[in-house]
Amino acid sequence: MKLIPAEIIKKKRQGQEHSLEELRAWIDGFVSGQVPDYQMAAWLMAVYFQGMGKEEISFLTQVMRDSGRVLNFSHLGAFCVDKHSTGGVGDKTSLMLTPLVGLFGLKVPMIAGRGLGHTGGTLDKLESIPGFRTNLSLEEFQKQIETLGYAIIGQTAEICPADRKLYALRDVTGTVESLPLICGSIMSKKLAEGLNSLVLDVKFGSGAFMKSQEEAQSLAQLLKTTGERQGVKVTTLLTDTNQPLGRFIGNALEVKECLDILDGRTFTPSAPSKQVDFDYYQPTRELTLQLASHMLHLGGKADSPEVGYSMAQKALESGQAAQAFSALCQAQGGDLARFRGEEMSPRPFAEVRAPQAGRLESMDCEQVGWASLLLGAGRLSHTDKIIPCAGIEVNCRLGEVYQKGDPLFYLYGDSSSQKACGEVEARLLNSLAWDKDQ
Ligand code: URA
């Protein structure tokens, strides 16, 4: 098909739908450099305002997937399953989930991401384990799926080059927050893994990209329909991100939380916090088990998610999941013994205390995410280096009553994190709303 870029842009500007053939020529033309950034930027903005039809989104996803290599594990005769989260604060579930589900004979070829905006990324977390390689070649990745059954790597140049190029352009043209473009971006990468089924954790709330439950529901429906049109079984969970997940935010701190959970430890802080009975690790453990339960069910290992839940719980409690995580680290070069020696008893350099007594009514969790980035747990620009030990320990929960001076957050990091301390403290305190009559 002869490509006339201005015609494609005008068509979308007028709200018309593209055919599969048109989208293939358009996206392939962009990847090869025939379509320049300025024309693609105009089209992205037209999509942002006009949207796309369901079939059209499915076509877009398909051509983005086909822009690079599409993996295929069907020769292994085992079910391939994965999980994707739309991004939260303190969400470290992928680290435990991948080996936990892999234990049951399902193949889990996870291609994960780095931090995006105020949210953390699985690759950055794993790289806080000394030596852990997330940059396996596709050949090494495929081999590990064949032998161990599970692996976690970053997107390589060969997988979905269209998404890499499009995402970079969306990032600088104000076109990230478009449901069809988000759907194409997420699903093309997941479909390139050669999956049979996918569990999607679609986050909503102040710490998520989708602030309202309705928006998250629309995205979940779109992701599900798009996956199913490509022959992949999809289950979606909507999860609340109005406060961070678990106790810790930050790369090494989140790995520590995972190791504690895998080792069967709980985290119940002692006084002066009012929540002496609350295990801060429980939300992380619970979401991991929920996601595992659906993966085991979709993968045909459990008759129902309830059965899958108790299978996953047993694997966690028996220490099998901990062994499977060690096997993952070993296979990808991660030195867990060194991590345990250096990072399992971190010391905070500062604490943030309650400015008054009251009930904690709400938290702008996105601001808590940005505060952790300011400490060095994420990147403010592409060239920034992550500080693995940087982050925040969350010592407060919504709905609880605190006294003036109670410690609400503990801050971690190195000397450069300490320079951001004032701004981080102000941001954290501003993120909280109190009912002072309590
Ligand atoms: N995650 C992605 O991979 N792509 C998007 O567009 C948004 C979130």
Tell me the pTM.
0.93
The reply to whether 347-435 shares the fold of 79-156+193-338 is no
Between helix 336-343 and helix 251-262 the angle, nearest 10°, is 110
In which element (H, E) is residue 254 found? helix 251-262
Whether 170 sits among the annotated catalytic residues: the reply is yes
pLDDT at 154: 92
Give me ligand 1 centre to Cα 300, in Å: 28
pLDDT at 155: 85
Give me ligand 1 centre to Cα 176, in Å: 8
pLDDT at 321: 98
- Please tell me if the CB atom of residue 111 comes closer than 6 angstroms to any atom of ligand 1: no
Whether 91 sits among the annotated catalytic residues: the reply is no
pLDDT digits (tens, 9 = 90+) for 232-242: 999 999 999 99
- Please tell me if the CB atom of residue 94 comes closer than 6 angstroms to any atom of ligand 1: no
pLDDT at 341: 96
Give me ligand 1 centre to Cα 173, in Å: 15
Euclidean distance between CA atoms 103 and 44, whole angstroms: 42
pLDDT at 276: 57
Domain ranges of the chain: 5-51, 79-156+193-338, 347-435
pLDDT at 112: 92
Euclidean distance between CA atoms 266 and 282, whole angstroms: 8
Q: Which residue, judged by its Cα, is nearest atom 1 of ligand 1?
A: 186
Give me ligand 1 centre to Cα 64, in Å: 13
pLDDT at 116: 80
- Which CATH number, 2.40.160.10, 3.40.1030.10, 3.40.50.720, 2.60.120.1440, labels domain 79-156+193-338? 3.40.1030.10
Residue type (1 letter), 160: C
pLDDT at 228: 95
Tell how strand 358-363 and strand 248-249 pair up. Answer: unpaired
- Please tell me if the CB atom of residue 183 comes closer than 6 angstroms to any atom of ligand 1: no
pLDDT at 273: 53
Closest CA to 237 of 249, 247, 223: 223
Which residues of the chain, if any, have pLDDT below 50? none
Q: Which of 189, 247, 285, 297 is catalytic?
A: 189
Whether 163 sits among the annotated catalytic residues: the reply is yes
pLDDT at 375: 97
Whether 206 sits among the annotated catalytic residues: the reply is no
Euclidean distance between CA atoms 176 and 181, whole angstroms: 7
Tell how strand 108-112 and strand 150-154 pair up. Answer: parallel
- Which CATH number, 3.30.365.10, 1.20.970.10, 2.120.10.90, 3.40.190.10, labels domain 5-51? 1.20.970.10
Question: Residue 303, class by beta-carbon neighbours within 10 Å (0-12 exposed, 13-18 middle, 19+ buried)?
Answer: exposed
* Alpha-helical segments (H) within 33-71: 37-50, 54-65
Q: Does domain 347-435 have CATH number 3.40.50.880?
A: no
Tell how strand 197-204 and strand 81-85 pair up. Answer: parallel
pLDDT at 272: 55
Whether 66 sits among the annotated catalytic residues: the reply is no
Give me ligand 1 centre to Cα 154, in Å: 14
Tell how strand 81-85 and strand 150-154 pair up. Answer: unpaired
Closest CA to 95 of 255, 326, 239: 255
Q: CA angle 107-112-116, nearest 5°?
A: 160
- Please tell me if the CB atom of residue 182 comes closer than 6 angstroms to any atom of ligand 1: yes
End-to-end CA distance of the chain: 68
- Please tell me if the CB atom of residue 61 comes closer than 6 angstroms to any atom of ligand 1: no
Instruction: Please identify which residue in the block is written with the tokens 């320079």.
Output: 419
pLDDT at 275: 53
